[in-house]
Amino acid sequence: MNIGLILAAGIGRRIGDTGIPKQFIELRGKPLLIHTLERFENSDDIDRIAIVCLEQYITHLQKLVGNYGISKVVSIVPGGMNRQESLMKGLEAVEDFLKSDDDIIVIHDGVRPLVGLQVIRDNIDAASKYDATMTALPAAETVILCSNGEVSVDGFCRRTDTYKLTSPQSFRYGSLKRAYDLMVKDTCADKSDLLDAAMVYARYIGPIHVVNDHANNIKVTTPEDFYCLKAILDVEEQRSIIGI
Below-50 pLDDT ranges, the chain: none
State the pLDDT at residue 15: 56
Strand-pair partners of 171: 105, 132
- pTM check: above 0.85: yes
DSSP 85-144: HHHHHHHHHHGGG-S-TT-EEEEEETT-TT--HHHHHHHHHHHHHHSEEEEEEE-SS--B
State the pLDDT at residue 31: 96
Supply the DSSP symbol for 150.
B
Domains recognised in the chain with CATH numbers: 2-131+165-242 (3.90.550.10)
Residue range 156-191, pLDDT digits in tens: 888 888 999 999 999 999 999 999 999 999 988 888
**Cβ-based neighbour number of residue 203 at 10 Å:** 16
Q: Are 104 and 124 in contact (CB under 8 A)?
A: yes
